[in-house]
Amino acid sequence: GGPPRGSRGGGERQGDTEKGRLLVWRYEGSKTLEEYVQASDFPLNLEDPLFRARAPSKEADVEKRSAAVLREVVRSALQAAKAMHSGGVVHRDVKPANMIISERDSGPTILLADLGAAVDLRNGYNFNPDEGLLDPRYAPPEQYVLPQTVPRAPPALSAVLGSPFIWAQYAPGKFDTYAVGMMLLQMGVPQLRKSESLQLVSRRIAECGGDVEEWRERFGQNLDFALLDRQNGAGWELVTKLVVDRSRRLSAARALGHRYLKSENVGGPVSPPPEQATSPLGSATLRR
């Protein structure tokens, strides 16, 4: 009981900044998605924290309940990525270790955290074309959020004016959606949930020229794809549309319209909404 360690009541934490001002943030939770994924009882261990009062009956089919957990995690990750992208920001380090499972009774259940690698393409903050900040287990093959031919951060006004063009031309947000695809692959195949297993998969996908379908044919014979193959392979289909080269990869907005994220009770595929370049101009400012 009581407030979290280091807090001063009300579930808020405080820390000193270099200039002597106080930085206060609300306590959300202490466990990351990675901690749940690494546990032997995943994904059912996430059922109650994720759905809260909406948790399905424990009498329901175990595989169907497990699939519902995965679907909700992926939806939450894509919604968080879409929100950042609409503000002109690319996270660049989307992975289970950077997703907090909220302990609050209301609001989002899964929160995308750790913006240390994030780049703000409205003003060039944290952008250096010569640096690629990535976790090789989840990072896309291009390694950089923008081609290295894009110049370093220009003056603020030029960055703001050029940002819509950069977003439309290079679709930098797709850097994050590749990571969501790797998360889905990891969560959906029990043998891949350990960190070292996913690292090997990433290397082998690279050996297959980035073709995840070829990887499955060559290396997936002894892996269990049952959770991804439900709904006529809807989960696997979404993996193939995210773990692919940038030109064919879905944006977060389009991925949210994929049939995998619809209830299993809804029959037939659902077409993604038309692709639109997200303009960061006029979006709410993201606070760091």
**pLDDT-based confidence at residue 267 (cuts at 50, 70, 90):** very low
Average pLDDT, the chain: 80
Q: What are the tokens at 64?
A: 């169907």
Residue with tokens 């968080």: 80
How far, in Å, CA of 110 to CA of 79, rounded?
Answer: 10
Three-state SS letters, 83-115:
HHHHCCEECCCCCHHHEEECCCCCCCCEEECCC
Range of the domain at 172: 28-261
Q: Is residue 120 part of a domain?
A: yes
**pLDDT-based confidence at residue 288 (cuts at 50, 70, 90):** very low
The pLDDT assigned to 156 comes to 52
Q: Residue range 156-175: average pLDDT? A: 69
Q: Is residue 240 part of a domain?
A: yes
pLDDT of residue 271 exceeding 50, the answer is: no
Residue with tokens 């995998």: 260
Q: Is residue 147 part of a domain?
A: yes
The pLDDT assigned to 128 comes to 64
Q: Residue range 167-193: average pLDDT? A: 94
CATH code for the domain in which residue 240 is found: 1.10.510.10
Q: Is residue 201 part of a domain?
A: yes
Q: Residue range 177-201: average pLDDT? A: 95
Domain count, the chain: 1
Q: Is residue 175 part of a domain?
A: yes
Q: Is residue 278 part of a domain?
A: no
The pLDDT assigned to 108 comes to 75
- The answer to whether 255 touches 78, Cβ cutoff 8 Å, is yes
The pLDDT assigned to 4 comes to 42
**pLDDT-based confidence at residue 54 (cuts at 50, 70, 90):** confident
Q: Is residue 288 part of a domain?
A: no
Q: Residue range 184-188: average pLDDT? A: 98
The pLDDT assigned to 148 comes to 59
Helix (H, G, I), strand (E, B) or coil at 43: coil
β 89-90/22-26 pair status = unpaired
One-letter amino acid for residue 65 of the chain: R
Q: Any catalytic annotation for residue 105? A: no
How far, in Å, CA of 205 to CA of 185, rounded?
Answer: 12
- The answer to whether 160 touches 281, Cβ cutoff 8 Å, is yes
Q: Residue range 82-102: average pLDDT? A: 94
Which of 93, 120, 135, 176 is catalytic? The answer is: 93
pLDDT of residue 104 exceeding 70, the answer is: yes
**pLDDT-based confidence at residue 97 (cuts at 50, 70, 90):** very high
How far CA 252 is from CA of 3, 74, 130, 236, 266, in Å, comes to: 36, 10, 25, 17, 21
